Chains A and B, each alone.
Chain A
């Protein structure tokens, strides 16, 4: 237990990602389209806003020092995660809980929300010491 706590505490984004995975699992089990839409949509909005705020800051702070590849490395993972999370949300909301599309949507939503959180966390002023996106800039 102590090891898990240490592991979670080592990087601030880890508990966030775990929380989001649990939230997604809970929403999938409840299988209420409207609840999924509101809570899930809110989570995407929150994580997406954080990512966009950070990525815009980073882009303007670096100015002309960045080349096209570096800009793509900053923007693409998060933007794609937002798009795919929204597609997943649409799949979940428009399909019944027993269908493959619902299960696929719920899985994709969880994965993309985690990706979006990671993309935002990697751009924070105190990023994780992993070889992260934009780290070479």
Chain B
């Protein structure tokens, strides 16, 4: 607990990461990894057939992708690492230790990819005008860009797989064991055709905007891109099954909640049925686009477009949730605490090792029981302060106070409006990981559990939002270890 806790009490830390990461995956898979080979293939085909209509369409699609990937795509790519570093610096720290050189390589590959997409887009017209030899070179540039786009994904997928199931790395701690984790190849095998099929569906949608209504080429282009999509579709299904069967059984127990949240967990079967119907609808629309594109209403192409974005985004949510209670399988819990440190923390308490505090604001101090003496009030506030620090260090990476996935929302669902006494909530939290397998065990000691209970009881009567970032340092292991939260270095020194 060497870093201050960053906290968003309305959206939640999970919401922040999910928003950025899902947006990035949709752009990365749909507009880069899958789209670049499709655009290069269009350029190649147009050149082979000496049909400039393919060339024009390919360039328009590329330019659209260029705008999105180099702005929103690049920002969200960096944004993922920035947000996860803020929210869970310990997991990122562990990953950097294992994957340092992989990340370094990925950075080089990413820079190459950026240079290539700049070159590919900006030289299109110039090189095309120079004659067939330069056109051939340009097409090669396109396929090189496609390759580097895929390599960036291939490296990052190793880290994603590792976070779900580190496999033998847990015993031998070597780089290559981490890279070749049990879920790496199945996940890469799934994401590769998914990206290609996704690019096909997005292209079919874009073709509506980049070709004329009466243009016969629109039908030809729809059919060609439809074939591209269908070539990859069976591989998405086959590799998806391989990926699913490679996921450890314990994670599959989280499937119901990961698919549809705790509130709708019993909707799992309905949800899966909707997913199957969606896949079939996508396939049917693409089949009609190939067989009779002239009969396909324009609006029908919106369906697969929206469906593939939703399904891919939801797949990411499931992947993120299913690995719980861990953020790195068997190694680190979602709260950022290592499994190996639990025995120590449960003996000494988490606050003994916490270097930052989050002092109660005046608004947060409201709502105390009436009729307390000054001394009783101070004592209660001290307990609540300690409880809040326990909450911030052990719960706030996933839960908010009153916002999304709020702790108060869960307590209200379970205990209703009766008083949330420390005995009630602490009793539940002590064994919650048995009732909810996706929750990590409580990492602190018995005293801290009571403090946390006091804080949760206070939250029932106080709806003030929890401030964003911790800025106050505390004295760790000082005499009698007082949790004197202060931003003033002189006060801290005096207290020491």
By a beta-carbon cutoff of 8 Å, the part of chain A in contact with chain B is: 67, 69, 72-73, 76-77, 80-81, 83-84, 100, 104, 108, 111, 115, 118-119, 122, 130-133, 136
A118 to B288, CA, bound (A): 10
Within 8 A of A (CB), among B237-289: 273, 276-277, 280, 283-284, 287
Scoring B residues 227 to 245 as 1 if CB is less than 8 Å from chain A, else 0, what string do you get? 1001101100000000000
A81 to B284, CA, bound (A): 10
* Complex contacts, A81 vs chain B, CB 8 Å: 287
Which of B48, B219, B223, B290 has the largest count of A CB atoms less than 10 A from its CB? B290
* Complex contacts, A130 vs chain B, CB 8 Å: 292, 294
The verdict on B401 contacting chain A, using a C-beta distance below 8 Å, is: no
Partner of B227, one of A69, A111, A118, A122: A69
Partner of A111, one of B284, B290, B294: B284
A124 to B479, CA, bound (A): 91
B51 nearest CB across to chain A (Å): 10
Assess whether A77 is in contact with B293, with CB atoms less than 8 Å apart: no
Partner of A131, one of B41, B45, B223, B234: B223
Assess whether A131 is in contact with B233, with CB atoms less than 8 Å apart: no
Scoring B residues 34 to 70 as 1 if CB is less than 8 Å from chain A, else 0, what string do you get? 0000000100010010000000000000000000000
A20 nearest CB across to chain B (Å): 14
* Complex contacts, B219 vs chain A, CB 8 Å: 131
Secondary structure dominating the interface of B = helix
A99 nearest CB across to chain B (Å): 10
A81 to B28, CA, bound (A): 30
Partner of B230, one of A80, A118, A122, A136: A80
A104 nearest CB across to chain B (Å): 7
A104 to B279, CA, bound (A): 12
The verdict on B424 contacting chain A, using a C-beta distance below 8 Å, is: no
The verdict on B300 contacting chain A, using a C-beta distance below 8 Å, is: no
A16 to B219, CA, bound (A): 25
* Complex contacts, A131 vs chain B, CB 8 Å: 216, 219-220, 223, 293-294
The verdict on B495 contacting chain A, using a C-beta distance below 8 Å, is: no
Partner of B291, one of A72, A108, A119: A119
The verdict on B345 contacting chain A, using a C-beta distance below 8 Å, is: no
Partner of A73, one of B223, B284, B287, B292: B223
Known: A80-B287, A108-B280, A131-B293. A69 touches B230 (CB 8 A): no
A137 to B234, CA, bound (A): 25
Assess whether B231 is in contact with A76, with CB atoms less than 8 Å apart: yes
Scoring B residues 201 to 240 as 1 if CB is less than 8 Å from chain A, else 0, what string do you get? 0000000000000001001100110010011011000000
A119 to B45, CA, bound (A): 23
Partner of A104, one of B230, B233, B276, B293: B276
A102 nearest CB across to chain B (Å): 12
B199 nearest CB across to chain A (Å): 16
* Complex contacts, B280 vs chain A, CB 8 Å: 84, 104, 108
